[in-house]
Amino acid sequence: MYFHEIAGELKTYMSPTERGGEFIIWLVGETLRDPMTEEEEKLAENDEYNPMTPHMSLNMADQILEGKSKFISKARAGLICSRYDGQVFADEIDNLYDANKDHLQNFLAVRGLDVERDELGSAVQDILDQIFHGLAKGIHDVDIELTIHDLKPSIKNLAADRIYCENGKLFIDGDVIELPVKLSDAQIYDFEAGYISALCDAYAEVLSRDNVTVDDIPKLPKKYQKNFYEQRKAYLSAESIQRSISEVYEDGKNQFDILKDDAYNGVKITYYDDFDNGYRRLLEVLKKISDVQLTKSKLSLIKNLIGNLERLGIVHILVNDKTITSWVDPYEE
């Protein structure tokens, strides 16, 4: 399937009166994830985050929709793939009128792709992903094999001697699975609020301050700044793995939950011990997790997946989950 074929079909009922080039640029933009790094934020501010916007005229975008002589270049397609998500666009497909969904079903059926009406959003998300990856390799006519019905593999079936993790990828019997989630420390995400608040409370107590906020971190003594940035790095690494494993494996979430429970049981005696302040309690728990044997989860079979950095991060995930409630007062309700 060519990109201009699916794009032209979608335009007929998503934006029939809009100029073709403008629709193409909008369509690609709707499939992208939110910017995750400072560099990407700057690109977005300059209206250059969408790979179709920099140095492309509307005339060229028009020709891409026509599919006669111009195609999305390998370089642009590669950038699209690196920023692709597709979920927002999938939701927009699922919100189409039923008559338009019928047309889309027929369009796909003619091309040998039988999709139920309530699966159209996921199917288009999958199709565009495959097309963009094909274009990134210089392939214009991509053979589509829908993966929306593929069952996720189970961690329970993994053999420890045939799987390992390296550079954000799982290597299994010669197959390579790239872990899809890579959280960057260039920005603070909303979902970090819990463990960051707990860290700030620990810093405030040891420094005899009423409170400490994220904005205060750069003004704290160096050792607390260093601690904060190290803990964020650890958390984001562990959280990336938690999200990736949950997405890749059918039982990934359950196995990561087992890992968290195993970690908590290993540190809880230290956590509830008496300390002069919350910062000391934090440090002792972080020391303890490095020595705990995490063997209950099948994730322990994957060599190099859970290292010392991720162990520290799991502690902060436990704070976000409210399993660990406070570094200052472990009995806090």
Q: Is the pLDDT of residue 266 over 70?
A: yes
- 93-122 pLDDT tens trace: 999 999 999 999 999 999 999 988 888 999
* Alpha-carbon gap, residue 279 to 203, rounded angstroms: 6
- What pLDDT score does 159 carry? 57
Residues 61-79, mean pLDDT to the nearest whole number = 89
Q: Poorest-confidence range of 185-189, 257-261, 324-328? A: 185-189
DSSP characters over 114-164: ---GGGHHHHHHHHHHHHHHHHHTT-SS------TTPPPP-GGG--GGGEE
Residues 6 or more apart in contact with residue 249 via CB below 8 angstroms: 152, 153, 154, 155, 255
Break the chain into its structural domains and give their ranges.
Answer: 3-136, 155-320
Q: Is the pLDDT of residue 34 over 60?
A: yes
- The strand pairing partners of 268, in sequence order, are none
- What pLDDT score does 175 carry? 63
* 330: nearest Cα among 259, 262, 275: 275
Average pLDDT, the chain: 89
* Alpha-carbon gap, residue 205 to 207, rounded angstroms: 5
Sheet strands side by side (includes 175-178):
163-166, 169-172, 175-178
Q: Are 321 and 272 in contact (CB under 8 A)?
A: no
* Alpha-carbon gap, residue 136 to 46, rounded angstroms: 24
* Alpha-carbon gap, residue 216 to 202, rounded angstroms: 13
- 183-236 pLDDT tens trace: 888 888 889 999 999 999 999 999 999 999 999 999 999 999 999 999 999 999
Q: Are 6 and 128 in contact (CB under 8 A)?
A: yes
Percent of the chain with pLDDT over 70: 94
Residues 6 or more apart in contact with residue 315 via CB below 8 angstroms: 234, 263, 267, 285, 286, 289, 324
Output the pTM of the full model: 0.59
At residue 63, the 3 state secondary structure works out as helix
Residues 38-62, mean pLDDT to the nearest whole number = 89
- 136-185 pLDDT tens trace: 999 999 999 887 766 666 666 665 556 778 877 777 656 677 777 788 88
- What pLDDT score does 243 carry? 87
- What pLDDT score does 309 carry? 94
